[in-house]
Amino acid sequence: MAVLLIKNGYVYDPINGVDGERMDIAVKDGKIVEDVDEREARVIDASGMVVMPGGVDIHAHIAGAEVNAGRLLRPEDHVKDVEPRTAITRAGVGYSIPSTFTTGYRYTRMGYTTVMNPSMPPLEARHTHEELSDTPIIDKASYPLLGDSWFVLEFLSKDMIEECAAFVAWMMWATRGYAIKIVNPGGLETWGFGGNVRDLNDEVPHFGITPREIVRGLCKVNKLLNLPHTIHVHTNNLGVPGNCETTLKTLMCVEDLAEDGERAIHITHCQFSAFLGDDWATMESGAPLIARYMNRHSHATIDMGQVIFTDTTTMTADGPFQYGLHLLSGNKWINHDVETETSSGIVPFRYRRTSRVHATQWCIAQELALLIEDPWKIYLTTDHPNGGPFTSYPRIVSWLMSVKAREEELKRMNRRAVKRSVLPTIDREYSLYEIAVITRAGPARALGLENKGHLGVGADADIAVYPLNPEEVDPSRDYKLVRRAFSRAAYTIKSGEIVAKDGEIVKAPDGKTYWVDVKVPEDLWEAVKSEIAEVWEDYYTVRFSNYPLTDHYLKISSPITRQARM
Amino acid sequence: MRVVKDVVCPFCGCLCDDLELEIEGREVKAVRNACAVGEAKFLHYGKHERTRPMIRKNGELVEVSLDEAIRKAAEILAEAKYPVLFGWSSTSCEAVRVGLQLAEEVGAIIDHCSSVCHGPSVLAIQEVGLAGFTLGQSRHRFDLIIYWGSNPLDSHFRHFERYSTFSEGRFRPSISRRSITQFLSTLAERRIKRVTRRLLIKEREEGFYFGARRAPSGPFKERDRKLIVVDVRRTRAAKMADFFLQVKPNTDYEIIQALRMLIRDMELDVDEVAGIPVEVLEELADILVNAKVGVLYFGVGLTMSKGKHRNIEAAISLVRDLNARAKFHILPMRGHYNVTGADVVITWTTGYPYAVDLTQGYPRYNPGETSTIDVLLRDDCDAFLCIASDPVAHFPRRAVENMLKHPLIAIDPVVSATTLVADVVIPSAFSGIEVGGTAYRMDHVPITLKKVFEPPEGYLPDEEILKRILAEVRRIKGKAAEALVPAGA
Amino acid sequence: MATITLTPKYSFTVPVYAPCISPDSFAGKTLKEIGELEVWEGNRRKKLKQLFDIKGKTADTPEEITIKLSGNLWKVRRIGEEMTAGKILIDGDAGLHLGVKMRGGTITVKGNADSWLGSQMRGGTIEVMGNAKDYVGGAYRGSGVGMRGGTIIVHGNAGYDVGEWMRGGFIKIMGNVGAYTGVHMQGGTILVQGDSEGRIGALMKGGKIVLMGKIDSILPSFTIQDLKKRTKVEGEAVEGPFYVFIGDLTEDGSGKLFISKKSNPHLSFYERLI
C-alpha cells in the first residue's frame, strides 16, 4: 500500500470543521493517518488546489435490472458517447445510462468515490450485484425495494413490527442490501392490477393497509433494526401536480417517531415531489413550502433531484408514474413488474428549456437547495439518470455557487416559469465548504458511513483534489472554472491509491460493496422463517433456498454489523 | 445415494429451480419435478460422447494436449482481423463476462443466439419498449393469456404449469393442480364434442378458425382465466385454448394491426384480413379489452415470420394500446436457458445486447451489419470461435460455407456438428451440471445454477478456458508489441 | 475542380471503415496528408495510403473536390459520412452506410449500394444506378430519426424498410421495393415506380408515398379517402389515377398513400367506400 502525502492544499472537511485551511493530508494503508515520513511518501503537491473527501452520491441508478433495461432500450443514447478501451480501462458507452465500467471511470474522474444504488428489486438482487462488481473503483451499496413486498405488507397490516423487522433483516442479508427503499408505497402493488394509490390514506386492495401505515411501519422497523441509514422514500404521487401536499404529509407522518434530533426519513429526489397546482397548466413550485417545513424540523433529510436540460432516460420503480410519463411524452416505454415485490418503468425523456413545466422543475430543485438553510439536510443529486446524467454534477455545483451562473441559465428558460419562481430573488451562494457538505460530508453522515465523507484520522483515504485555487478564483464570477475543476479532478485517491490524475484513469482497482448485517434474536427469526417458508413457494416462482445470494456475487464484500434493538 | 434438492434445470428459458435429483456415484437415478427434456438432460448426462482437445493438422483432427489447443486458439484469434465470438446462450454469465474481455482484447464481434432467435424482439424493444414482468405476476394476477407463434407444450414444457394457464396464484386461485388432471381426462371427450360441433356448424372455411366457446365445459366452468392461442397450425396448446386463431403463415402483421384498429374502436375498410373475417377479429378484440390483466407470450413463430422485428413491434404496440383499457404485458418466450443472461451481461458491459462489434476498441452495434449471420453471409469475418452452441447444424447453408472457409474454434462439452468440422476443439465442462454460475430466466430473474457433479479430469469450466485463452492472447500480443520497440529503446 | 482518384491496392477480405473518404476531410490537405488519414481494416488501424492508391489534385474547399473511386468497394463502409459539399463518384459497388449523415454534395454509384444508403441524411443527392439493399434513408437503431432532407434516387430495386423513420427529403426508387416502405415515416416523399412487396406505409404518421406498380393489399390500418387523377411529386405531376389512403390509424397518423389504380385492379372494392 502506498504512502501518500498531499501537501499544501486548501482542505474542506466539514465533518471535522475544516474550512479551507492550508494543511497536509497523510495517507497510509488506505486510511488517513496523523503523519507519515515524508521521505517514504509519494508527495502530491496540492498547492493552489482544493482538497476534499471523495464525493458520496446518496442516490444514483447505476446498476441493476431497470438500469440495464434502460441501456438495452437506448442504442441511440450510446452511439453518441463512446469510451474506447485503454491499457488500463475497459471499453464502454455513455451517455445517460453508461455501461458499468464507464460508470466507475466517470465518477472517479469527478472525484466521487462512493455511490449508492437506490433501487434493487430483491428478486433480482443478483443482477444488481453482478453489475456492481463490474463497476470498478468506486465503493457502492444498494437499497432493496421493500415498500410493496407482500411479506412486509402482511406483517405491517397485522401490526407485527418485530416480525417484519426480522424479515427485513433477513432481506438485507439475502440481497446484500444497505437501506430500506420505499417507492410509491402501496402504489406498486396496486399497479399489478393497473391501478395506483392517490393518497396516504388510500387502502391497498387485498392487503388492508394504507401508504401511511407502510411508511410508519417501516420507519419503526428501521429504528428497531438500528440501520445506518433512515428509510429512503420516493413519495406517492411523484411527478403529479399537487403532490407537494402528499410529500408534506409523508414527512409529517413520521414526525413522532423521531426522538430528539434523530433522523427518521429521507425523501429522495424531492424536486419531483414538490409540485403545486391542480394540473400541468397550473403546476408551480412547492419548494418554498417544503423548505419552510425542513427549516423547522430536523427529523428529515432530502436530496435535490435536479433536472438538466438534456436528453436522458427516466427510470424508477414507480410503474404507474412511468406509464403516465409515457402517455404524456409518447416516447417508448418499458415496464417491468416484479412478482410479490415491486415494479419499474423506463421512458426516455428530454427536458426542454422552453417547456414551462421543465423549467419550473429546474427551479424547484435550485430553490430547495437554496431555501433550506442547513446544507446538512439536503444533498446534491440528479436522481441519475432521471433528472440528467451524473456527469452534470459540476454544473449544478456552479449554479449553486453563483447567482450569475443561475441568471445565465434563467435567461434562456421559459419566461413564464421564471416569472412565477422565487429563484431570481434568491441571492444565496454556496461556499466551497457548503458544497463539500452537500456532495460528501452530508450524504456520508445521512448514510451512517463513518469512514466516508471526511478526512479525519482513521477515515478511508478517499480523496479528491480539484484544480481550483480558492484564493484566486471567485466562484461567483468564474463559475465556469468551478465547473471545469469539478469535472476533472487533478487527483482522485481511492483507498489510498491514486486512481485518476488530471481526469484520466491511471489505475482501476475494485471497489467495496457495503451491506448491513443485522443481528436479530435467534428465536424471533426462527419463528418468522417458518412462517415465510410455509408460503414462500405460493408467493414466488423461485425456491426459498435459491433466493438469497451468496458472497460470490460481491467482489469485495464489506458488511456493516448492527445489533437490533429488540 | 444422495438427494440434491432445488436443482436448476439448464435447458430452456423457464429455468425451473425445483428439480430433485437422486444420485448414485456419477449417475442420476431419478429426476423429480422436471419435464421430459429436463429429466433426460440429467438422466442421460453421462451418456454423451465427450469432446477431446484436438487440432486439425493436414486436414485431420488430431488429439493434442489441452494447453496446445488453447495456445492454437489464442494464436488464431490474435492473428485474426475480424473474428466473431459466437454462442454464449448455454453457458453461465461468468463465462460471458470473460468472453467480453477476450472480445475487447482481440478486437472481435461478440454475438450470441439472440441473433438468430429473439434478436428481432430486441430491435422492436428499441423502437417501442416493452411492457414486461416476472413470471410470478403471470401466475398471481393474469386472467387472459395469449400465446402467439409459440407452443409452450412443445418448447417450454412447464410454462403452463408453473407460470401461466395451469398455475395457481394469490389472486387466481380458481385452477388448482387437481383440475389439471381432471382437465386432461376430459380432453378426449372435449375433442369429440368439438368434432361434432364442427360438423354441425360447417365452418366457412375448412379448419380455418375457431370462435370462442362461450359456455366452456368441464373444469373450466368457473375459471376466470382465458387462454388464447394464435398459430399457423393447430398445436397441442391450441387444442386447450378457449380461442384459437389459425393464421396463414406470414400474415401476423396484418392481423395485429387490424386488432389494434379494433381495440381503438375504429372501423376497418375491409371485410377480412389475411383471410380471416373481421367478425372473428372483433370477437377476439372483445376478449382482449374485457380482460383485467393480460399477457401476450410470443415465440419464434412471430419473430421469424415475414416482417420479423416489425411483427414484434406491432405486438408490443398492441399491448401498449391495451394498457389504456386493461393492464397488459408481453414477454418473449426465450429458448436457451441462459440466452437472456448473455443479453444482460453484454448489455451492462457494452450498452448493447447482442451483435456487438468491438473491433475498433469501443462497442458498436448494428444488427444487419454486425450480426453473425449477416457477417457470415457477407463473408466478412476471418476467424470464428463458437462456444456452447452448434451453429454448423443450425445456420443457413451459405453462412456455414463461409464460416468454414476460415479457422473455426469450438468450445463444447460434447461432440456436435460444429466440433466435427472445427479446426480447434476445446473440451469443456457442462454448465449447470458440472459447473455452477448464474443464469437468467426468460423474464430476467437471475438464478444460481447448481453444480451437481465434479467435471471429469481435463474438462474445465468455460470461464476458465476463456481466461486461459485470454492470458495466451495477451502474451502473444505483448510479444508482438515488444518486437515493435527498437532494441535499446 | 480537382479530382482525386482512389483505387484499392488489393481486394479487401474484411470490412474497411473509411468515413474519411469525403471531400470535407480531403479539403485543404496534400495528397500525402490524405494518405495519412486513418481507416480501420477489421480490427487494425491503417492509413488510407496503405489500402488505396491515391492520385490526382487536391483543393482547399470541399466544393471543388471530386473523389473518384473504382474497383471493388463492397467491403468499404461509411464512404462520404457527414459530407457537406463536393462530389463522390463510385465506379462499381459501394458498401454499407454510403453517405450516412450526409449534408450536401452529390454521390453517384454506378453499381449497387448496400444497406443504409443515405441513412440519417440531411441534404445533398445520392444516385445509385444499380440496386440498393435495405434501409435506404433509414435511421439508427432506436433513434427514430431517419432521413431529414436531400434526395436519393435508385435506378434499380430497393430492399426492405425504404425511408424508415423518414422525416423529410425525397426518395425515388425506379424499380421494385421490398416490404415496409416508409415504415414509421413522419414526413417527406417516397416515389416507387415499380411494385411493392406489401405493408407499405406501416406505422407512418405523416409524409407521402406514391406507388406506381402493384401491391397485393393495403394494411387494414389505412382507410381510403379519395380517388385522384394525378398527384405532384417534387413539383412534377405524376399521372394516376391513384387511390388515396390515409394512415397509419393505429399511430393516429395522417400519412398519405397514393396507390396506382391501373396496376391494382384488385383494390377496386375500396371504391364503394369513397
- Within a domain: residue C25? no
Any residues with CB less than 8 A from the CB of B286 and at least 6 apart, and which? none
Taking only residues 75 to 94 of chain C, the set having a beta carbon closer than 8 angstroms to any beta carbon of chain B reads 75, 77
CATH number at residue B244: 3.40.228.10
For residue B82, what are the domain limits?
50-117+337-484
Put simply, whether B313 touches C (Cβ < 8 Å) is: yes
Interchain pair C14, B382: CB under 8 A: yes
Residue in chain C closest to B271 (alpha carbons) equals C220
Q: Is the pLDDT of residue C48 over 70?
A: yes
Q: Where are the domains of chain A?
A: 3-53+452-505, 55-181+196-307+352-447
Tell me how close the Cα of C202 comes to any Cα of chain B, in angstroms: 9
Average model confidence (pLDDT) across chain A: 96
Q: Is the pLDDT of residue A256 over 80?
A: yes
Chain A interface disruption, residue of C40, C120, C141, C186, most A CBs within 10 A = C141
Helix (H) or strand (E) holding A463: strand A463-466
Burial label for C62, CB within 10 Å (0-12, 13-18, 19+), is buried
Burial label for A438, CB within 10 Å (0-12, 13-18, 19+), is buried
Chain C interface disruption, residue of A72, A73, A76, most C CBs within 10 A = A76
Q: Provide, as residue numbers in chain A, all residues whose Cβ is less than 8 Å from the Cβ of C252.
A: none
Chain C interface disruption, residue of B257, B265, B354, most C CBs within 10 A = B257
Q: Provide, as residue numbers in chain C, all residues whose Cβ is less than 8 Å from the Cβ of A332.
A: 142
| Dihedral (Cα; C17, C19, C22, C25), 10-degree rounding | -120
Q: Provide, as residue numbers in chain C, all residues whose Cβ is less than 8 Å from the Cβ of B378.
A: 15, 75
Closest CA to A446 of A250, A231, A294: A231
Cell numbers linked to A278: 391542480
3-state helix, strand, coil in chain C (%, to 5): 10, 35, 55
Closest CA to C220 of B53, B185, B261: B261
How, if at all, do strands C2-8 and C16-17 pair?
unpaired
Q: Please name the amino acid found at residue A39.
A: R
**DSSP states of B328-368 as a string?**
EEEEE---BTTHHHHHHHHHHHHSSSS-EE-TTSS-EE-TT
**DSSP states of B144-196 as a string?**
EEEEES--HHHHSTTHHHHTSTT---SS-TT--HHHHHHHHHHHHHHHHHHHH
How does DSSP classify residue A352? -
- Within a domain: residue B274? yes
Task: For the domain covering A3-53+452-505, report its CATH number.
Answer: 2.30.40.10
- Within a domain: residue B44? no
Q: Is the pLDDT of residue A340 over 50?
A: yes
- Within a domain: residue B14? no
Decide: B213 and B238 in contact? Cβ < 8 Å.
no
C-alpha radius of gyration, chain B, whole number: 25
pLDDT for A260 equals: 74
What is the rounded average pLDDT of the residues A363-386? 97
pLDDT for B207 equals: 36
Total domains present in chain C: 1
pLDDT in tens, A183-224: 999 999 999 999 999 999 999 999 999 999 999 999 999 999
Residue in chain B closest to A68 (alpha carbons) equals B348
Q: Please name the amino acid found at residue C182.
A: G
- Within a domain: residue B452? yes
* Same domain (yes/no): B186, B96: no
Residue in chain A closest to B132 (alpha carbons) equals A336
What is the rounded average pLDDT of the residues A65-83? 96
Size of interface B-C (CB pairs under 8 A): 97
Q: Which of C42, C134, C224 sits opposite B81 (nearest CB)?
A: C42
- Within a domain: residue C71? no
CATH number at residue B72: 3.40.50.740
pLDDT for B170 equals: 81
Helix (H) or strand (E) holding B483: helix B462-484
Decide: B412 and B462 in contact? Cβ < 8 Å.
no
Q: Provide, as residue numbers in chain C, all residues whose Cβ is less than 8 Å from the Cβ of B366.
A: 140-141
Q: What does the alpha-carbon distance between residue A254 and residue A277 come to, in Å, rounded to a whole number?
A: 25
For residue C180, what are the domain limits?
115-273
Number of CB atoms found within 10 A of residue A273's CB: 28
Among B332, B351, B377, identify where a domain stops: B332
- Within a domain: residue B1? no
Where are any strands of DSSP class E within A184-332?
Answer: 231-234, 265-267, 275-276, 284-285, 300-303, 311-316
Q: Which of A90, A126, A339 sits opposite B137 (nearest CB)?
A: A339
Q: Which residue has 383499457 as its cell numbers?
A: B325
Total domains present in chain B: 2
Q: Is the pLDDT of residue C47 over 60?
A: yes
A385: cis peptide before it, omega within 30°?
yes
Q: How far is CA A455 from CA A47, B179, B378, in A?
A: 17, 67, 59
Q: Provide, as residue numbers in chain A, all residues whose Cβ is less than 8 Å from the Cβ of C145.
A: 76
Interchain pair B261, C221: CB under 8 A: yes
Q: Please name the amino acid found at residue A12.
A: Y
Decide: B92 and B463 in contact? Cβ < 8 Å.
yes
* Same domain (yes/no): B324, B392: no
pLDDT for B196 equals: 57
Interchain pair B310, C249: CB under 8 A: no
Put simply, whether C24 touches B (Cβ < 8 Å) is: no
Q: Which of A91, A124, A538 sits opposite B361 (nearest CB)?
A: A91
pLDDT for B194 equals: 63
Interchain pair C14, B127: CB under 8 A: no
Q: How far is CA B453 from CA B24, B228, B234, B457, in A?
A: 11, 42, 41, 12
Q: Provide, as residue numbers in chain B, all residues whose Cβ is less than 8 Å from the Cβ of C135.
A: 368
Put simply, whether B56 touches A (Cβ < 8 Å) is: no
Q: Provide, as residue numbers in chain B, all residues whose Cβ is less than 8 Å from the Cβ of C14.
A: 81-82, 380-382
pLDDT for B171 equals: 80
- Within a domain: residue B459? yes
* Regions of chain B short of the pLDDT cut 50: 174, 176-178, 201-222, 487-489
Closest CA to A457 of A11, A22, A31: A31
pLDDT for B173 equals: 61
Q: How far is CA A429 from CA A365, A373, B82, B342, in A?
A: 15, 11, 55, 49
- Within a domain: residue B28? no
Helix (H) or strand (E) holding A162: helix A161-175
Decide: A16 and A454 in contact? Cβ < 8 Å.
yes
Q: What does the alpha-carbon distance between residue A445 and residue A450 come to, in Å, rounded to a whole number?
A: 7
pLDDT in tens, C186-244: 999 999 999 999 999 999 999 999 999 999 999 999 999 999 999 999 999 999 899 99
A433: cis peptide before it, omega within 30°?
no
Among B307, B332, B357, identify where a domain stops: B332
Angle at the Cα of A161 from the Cα atoms of A158 and A163, rounded to 5 degrees: 90
Interchain pair B134, A337: CB under 8 A: yes
Q: What does the alpha-carbon distance between residue C73 and residue C98 come to, in Å, rounded to a whole number?
A: 11
- Within a domain: residue C19? no
Q: Provide, as residue numbers in chain B, all residues whose Cβ is less than 8 Å from the Cβ of C96.
A: 369
Q: What does the alpha-carbon distance between residue C33 and residue C54 come to, in Å, rounded to a whole number?
A: 11
* Same domain (yes/no): B167, B315: yes
Decide: A464 and A55 in contact? Cβ < 8 Å.
yes
Interchain pair B359, C134: CB under 8 A: no
Closest CA to C124 of C96, C156, C83, C91: C83
* Same domain (yes/no): B110, B128: no
- Within a domain: residue C66? no
- Within a domain: residue C186? yes
**CB-hemisphere CA count at 13 Å for B58?**
0
* Same domain (yes/no): B132, B73: no
Tell me how close the Cα of B125 comes to any Cα of chain A, in angstroms: 6
How does DSSP classify residue B255? H
Q: Provide, as residue numbers in chain C, all residues whose Cβ is less than 8 Å from the Cβ of B273.
A: 220
Q: Which of C17, C97, C219 sits opposite B254 (nearest CB)?
A: C219
Q: Please name the amino acid found at residue A300.
A: A
Q: Is the pLDDT of residue A176 over 80?
A: yes
* Same domain (yes/no): B283, B388: no
* Same domain (yes/no): B128, B264: yes
pLDDT in tens, C97-150: 999 999 999 999 999 999 999 999 999 999 999 999 999 999 999 999 999 999
Which strands, in side-by-side order, build the sheet including B27-32?
B2-7, B19-24, B27-32
Residue in chain A closest to B345 (alpha carbons) equals A131
pLDDT for B199 equals: 54
Put simply, whether B317 touches C (Cβ < 8 Å) is: yes
Q: What does the alpha-carbon distance between residue C48 and residue B280 come to, in Å, rounded to a whole number?
A: 62
Task: For the domain covering A55-181+196-307+352-447, report its CATH number.
Answer: 3.20.20.140
The dihedral built from the CA positions of residue C211, C212, C216 and C220, taken in this order, carries a sign that is positive
* Same domain (yes/no): B398, B437: yes
Where are any strands of DSSP class E within B33-190?
Answer: 54-57, 60-63, 83-87, 109-112, 129-133, 144-148
- Within a domain: residue C121? yes
Decide: A124 and A65 in contact? Cβ < 8 Å.
yes
